Structure 1
């Protein structure tokens, strides 16, 4: 199934859910009147938050680890250099929409302390993604390309795992220095990603407390 077919299928199911939802006809499931704008803002917030949360969970703890364990290192690095800008752009956009919707639904002056904290967590997730998109990822990709060049001169990089890199780095000061620089920047990028994920995780707990099942 192509991406267009998948998109149309998802939109169709969303449309069916909207049509048969009580909120579509101006009332909630408990009979109270709800403005349609508020319902659409809640929907936008929920969809964008869940997209950001799901993408962060997959990339951070599942997809990246699987690819690292099964792809040659240079192939893995080149793939990540294309994926990460798209990943951080998507998650950053979703966080921005979630912040806008949550901020509109909970004006600062009339918000409770917990709601203000949640807006802060969403803003933090957005900021951490922006730092990765515009600062850490470009630096990481550039250093990766420089290290790939050094590794190709040593005929390594097409293997899976770090064994050969570490062995060569013991007798190659240039590669050892590049490993250190790359590790530092990549560590900062990973930290920003984990902090963003943690901020989203805290908001998921908040949303779970609001659900009535």
Structure 2
């Protein structure tokens, strides 16, 4: 049941808490990958991400759902301005993209990555640190092993879709955080 009027202080705190939690997780998890890949082996990096990402996507999904619910409760559809419609749409979009990531893209990416890593281990690859190490050997493996090439293509396709969904969520949450900040009366 939509509620018109001013939300209570508890609702405002909850909304800001869920919004800032989602934003903080999104920024940290997105940027931490760039740091982590430089400090651990490729296979360790993949394992960490395969464990971290399901929790991350479900947490973003939960925060987005709670933000959407709280925001929609105090912004009845009949009274929405263009900016409020955009905010609700972005909360919904982030919720849907996080759900797609949590349910389909992340598990498929992880399963494919594990198959790819098995093939790499057979060829003595994957334990090097950083992206540039042994680049030529990976290139040769792609050229000579059709199975590896196919698994790698599937991995990068799903990884790319997952990354795109995550980027859109980061931007949507960032926009909603800016809107919330612009509507604060005082700090």
* Structure-1-length-normalised TM-score: 0.79
Structure-2 separation of matches of 1:79 and 1:172? 26
Displacement, 1:170? Answer: 2.9
Quote the residue 2:82 is aligned against: 113
- The equivalent position to 1:173 in structure 2, one of 143, 146, 149, is 146
Contact kept in structure 2, 1:38 and 1:105, CA below 8 Å: no
Q: What displacement does 1:205 show?
A: 2.1
Distance in 2 of aligned mates of 1:182 and 1:171:
18
Q: Unaligned 5+ residue runs, structure 2? A: none
Q: Give the deviation of 1:68 after TM superposition.
A: 1.1
- Answer 1 or 2: higher relative contact order, Cα 8 Å, separation at least 6: 2
1:186 aligns with one of 151, 159, 183? 159
Q: Which runs of 4+ in 1 moved over 3 A?
A: none
**Structure 2 residue 122 is the aligned partner of structure 1 residue 153:** yes
2:16 maps to: 46
Give the deviation of 1:119 after TM superposition.
0.6
Q: Distance in 1 between matches of 2:159 and 2:139?
A: 17
Residues paired across the two proteins, number: 178
TM-superposed deviation, 1:165: 2.5
Report the Cα distance in structure 2 between the residues aligned to 1:70 and 1:43, rounded to whole angstroms.
38
Q: CA RMSD in A?
A: 1.6
Deviations 1:144-188 (A, max 9, x none): 111011111111111123424234223322222221111111100
Higher Cα Rg: structure 1 or 2?
Answer: 1
